[in-house]
């Protein structure tokens, strides 16, 4: 067991990822701007180090998506951090009735130097942006929001988008949806754990009870009162273990099997579902200074 209480290493580089990366490389020459989407709850875990080399000559935007599920102060800190690193950056919520206008204008503004070059030659050019990021961060949902349609397929699990797809946003702006890409290797189990929390790693390649137990431990320090008010039968003790937290959830929900054994597997799935749907607490697991 490592220091995160995770026994089994998370395997997060399924075969289709390598193919997806080759596809991104091939399409680079078609695009002007890269919109990198990160989940605002774990922006560090979401960043793919491969992207540095891959996109070094492109205009780059970071979109801090799912800002409705993360801590407001952390959103501010991350916005500052990415902007200090030279990115155009925007806190965003891709679901619901929020405005699309600021995202469209951010992309158009970032692409302005390219548009100007063409304008000076008397040519009107369509700006082409590639939307990239790890699985499940909301790439397709973001594109649908900007397009005002349901053209891109979305879903509450990783690996929904399997191929690229161009979607027209306006006569002068097109976005390319891409499949989620994960890091090639796993060397930081803390970041891996965060990716599991936010649903970027398929639940069937990890031990859900271990992940949910670790999530409960983190929530008990980051969002203590929200956690206990949602699952009132959790033991209020600082030294409570992940297993005991999970049992507390099972107890709170009456998940008890024959013989009085707690159904901790069902409790684990409930915790992950409820956390991912934003029902437990708005927390961010990483801050820029953690680097």
Ligand X SMILES: Nc1nc2c(ncn2[C@@H]2O[C@H](COP(=O)(O)OP(=O)(O)OP(=O)(O)O)[C@@H](O)[C@H]2O)c(=O)[nH]1
179 binds ligand X (CB under 6 A): yes
Binding region for ligand X (CB under 6 A) out of 1-9, 137-145, 163-171, 253-261: 137-145
Question: Do residues 106 and 78 make contact, with C-beta atoms less than 8 angstroms apart?
Answer: no
What is the three-class DSSP state of 254?
A: coil
Question: Do residues 228 and 234 make contact, with C-beta atoms less than 8 angstroms apart?
Answer: yes
CB atoms within 10 A of CB 194: 26
Binding region for Mg ion (CB under 5 A) out of 43-51, 109-117, 157-165, 209-217: 157-165
List Cα–Cα distances, 41 to 34, 37, 185, in angstroms. 21, 12, 21
Number of residues assigned to the chain? 291
Give least dist CB 145 to Mg ion, A. 13
Site string for ligand X, 1-40 (x = CB under 6 A): ----------------------------------------
The one of Mg ion, ligand X, none whose footprint includes residue 213, by CB under 5 to 8 A per kind, is: none
Residues 191, 189: Cα–Cα separation, whole Å: 5
Site string for ligand X, 96-135 (x = CB under 6 A): -------------------------------------x-x
Residues 176, 199: Cα–Cα separation, whole Å: 22
The one of Mg ion, ligand X, none whose footprint includes residue 95, by CB under 5 to 8 A per kind, is: ligand X
Residue nearest to Mg ion (CB): 161
The one of Mg ion, ligand X, none whose footprint includes residue 136, by CB under 5 to 8 A per kind, is: ligand X
| Sheet of strand 165-170: strand arrangement | 88-91, 59-65, 33-39, 127-132, 173-177, 165-170
136-150 burial, b at 16+ Cβ within 10 Å, e below that, comes to bbbbbbbbbbbbeee
Residues 207, 186: Cα–Cα separation, whole Å: 16
Residues 211, 72: Cα–Cα separation, whole Å: 25
138 binds ligand X (CB under 6 A): yes
One residue of 161, 200, 217, 220 binding Mg ion per CB under 5 A = 161
Pair of tokens at residue 222: 């980051």
Residue whose CB is less far from ligand X, 91 or 218: 91
Residues 228, 6: Cα–Cα separation, whole Å: 23
Binding region for ligand X (CB under 6 A) out of 46-54, 70-78, 148-156, 211-219: 148-156
The closest of 191, 230, 232 to 214, measured between CA atoms, is 191
The closest of 207, 25, 218 to 132, measured between CA atoms, is 25
Binding region for ligand X (CB under 6 A) out of 5-13, 45-53, 159-167, 247-255: 159-167
140 binds Mg ion (CB under 5 A): yes
141 binds Mg ion (CB under 5 A): no
One residue of 156, 205, 233, 279 binding ligand X per CB under 6 A = 156
Residue whose CB is less far from ligand X, 158 or 248: 158
Residues that bind ligand X (CB under 6 A): 65-66, 68-69, 93-95, 133, 135-141, 154-156, 158-161, 179-180, 278
Residues that bind Mg ion (CB under 5 A): 139-140, 160-161
């Amino acid at each position: 067991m490592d220091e995160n209480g995770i026994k089994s290493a998370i395997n997060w580089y399924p075969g289709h990822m390598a193919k997806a990366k080759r596809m991104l490389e091939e399409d680079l020459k078609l695009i002007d701007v890269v919109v990198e989407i990160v989940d605002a709850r774990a922006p560090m875990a979401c960043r793919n180090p491969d992207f540095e080399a891959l996109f070094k000559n492109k205009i780059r935007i970071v979109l801090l998506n799912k800002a409705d599920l993360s801590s407001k102060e952390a959103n501010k800190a991350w916005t500052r951090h990415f902007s200090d690193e030279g990115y155009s950056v925007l806190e965003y919520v891709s679901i619901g009735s929020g405005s699309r206008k600021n995202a469209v204008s951010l992309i158009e503004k970032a692409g302005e130097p390219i548009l100007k070059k063409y304008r000076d030659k008397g040519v009107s050019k369509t700006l082409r942006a590639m939307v990239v990021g790890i699985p499940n961060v909301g790439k397709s949902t973001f594109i649908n929001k900007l397009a005002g349609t349901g053209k891109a397929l979305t879903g509450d699990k990783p690996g929904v988008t399997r191929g690229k797809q161009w979607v027209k946003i306006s006569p002068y702006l097109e976005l390319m949806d891409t499949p989620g890409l994960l890091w090639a290797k796993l060397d930081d189990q803390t970041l891996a754990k965060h990716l599991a929390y936010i649903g970027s790693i398929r639940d069937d390649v990890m031990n859900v009870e271990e992940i949910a137990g670790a999530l409960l431990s983190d929530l008990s320090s980051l969002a203590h009162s929200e956690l206990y008010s949602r699952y009132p039968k959790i033991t209020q003790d600082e030294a409570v273990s992940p297993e005991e937290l999970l049992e507390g959830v099972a107890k709170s929900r009456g998940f008890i099997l024959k013989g009085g054994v707690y159904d901790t597997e069902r409790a684990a799935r409930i915790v992950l579902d409820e956390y991912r749907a934003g029902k437990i607490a708005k927390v961010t697991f990483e801050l820029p200074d953690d680097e």
